[in-house]
Amino acid sequence: MNTPDENKDATSIARIKEKYLDKLHEDFTFLSDMVLNQMTKALELMYDNHKKNLVKLLKDNEKIIDSLDLTIKEKVINAIMLFTPRASDLRRLMAYYDMTICMERIGDLIDNIRHMLFAMDFSLPGFETYRKQLDDMFVHAGKMLKSALSTFSGMDEMLAHETIMMDDTADNMERKIEHGRPGSGFQWKSTGFAGLVNIMYVNSIAYYLERISDKAVDIAESAIYLIEGKDIRHTKLPEQ
């Protein structure tokens, strides 16, 4: 039987661990909000790609995301070493670690999109057709990401599976842009090299948005691991 002092020490350690995990959750929530905001701001850039204040904001936020990535992963490692967590807490910590990697990668992909958008010539004829398709991809990828993060915060297993099933739509949207007829969009024959470069940028942005959707799937899978204790990566979900 533990002595009163031992019980007091155990209670103190439990409180410290709880506060530590709460702070870790706050950091991850802040990271999530930053990345979701980046998605919104990048979409704004697609309608005015030379807004200097918007470009600067996206750059500055990317630095914050990188810093949070390092901070959260370090806290996860410290928590494992300091608290020797039980299975449920260990799954939670590993979920934070995996999802933080995903969020940092999404931040990088958004930054790549920023570079592509800044380099594009919006004045070339035919851009509007592609802009609408990219807008749809932005919205869909953002919806998947919000859904995946809601899955984690709400411990909603069903929502996680629904998020994963949304990935087929993202793949189809990306393929539609990739295999679209160049002549039906940018008038590349009349604009020459500039038109071809614009098409390359459009295809790159579509690819990056599809990858963001993939990362949302990874986050949903991490949430399922946390909720069910099952690793469903590399497994095929049942047909709906």
Percent of the chain with pLDDT over 70: 85
CA dihedral sign, ordered 178, 182, 187, 191: positive
Question: CB–CB of 112/211 below 8 Å?
Answer: no
Residue 213 scores a pLDDT above 50? yes
Question: CB–CB of 50/9 below 8 Å?
Answer: no
Name the CATH superfamily for 4-228. Answer: Phosphate transport system protein phou homolog 2; domain 2 (1.20.58.220)
Tokens of 83: 């608290």
Tens of pLDDT, residues 99-151: 999 999 999 999 999 999 988 887 777 777 888 899 999 999 999 999 999 98
Q: Give 64-93 as a DSSP string.
A: HHHHHHHHHHHHHHHHHHHH---HHHHHHH
- DSSP letter, residue 185: S
Least confident of 55-69, 182-196, 198-212: 182-196
Amino acid at 87: A
Q: CA angle, 238 as apex, 106 and 152 as ends, to 5°?
A: 40
Q: How many residues does the chain have?
A: 240
> Comparing C-alpha atoms, which of 151, 159, 14, 162 is closest to residue 95?
151
Domains of the chain, by residue range, sit at 4-228
Tens of pLDDT, residues 26-75: 999 999 999 999 999 999 999 888 888 999 999 999 999 999 999 999 99
Alpha-carbon radius of gyration of the chain: 22
C-alpha span between 151 and 160 (Å, rounded): 6
pLDDT, mean over the chain: 86
Three-class DSSP category at 2: coil
Question: CB–CB of 202/142 below 8 Å?
Answer: no
**pTM: predicted TM-score of the whole model, two decimal places:** 0.86
C-alpha span between 68 and 23 (Å, rounded): 12
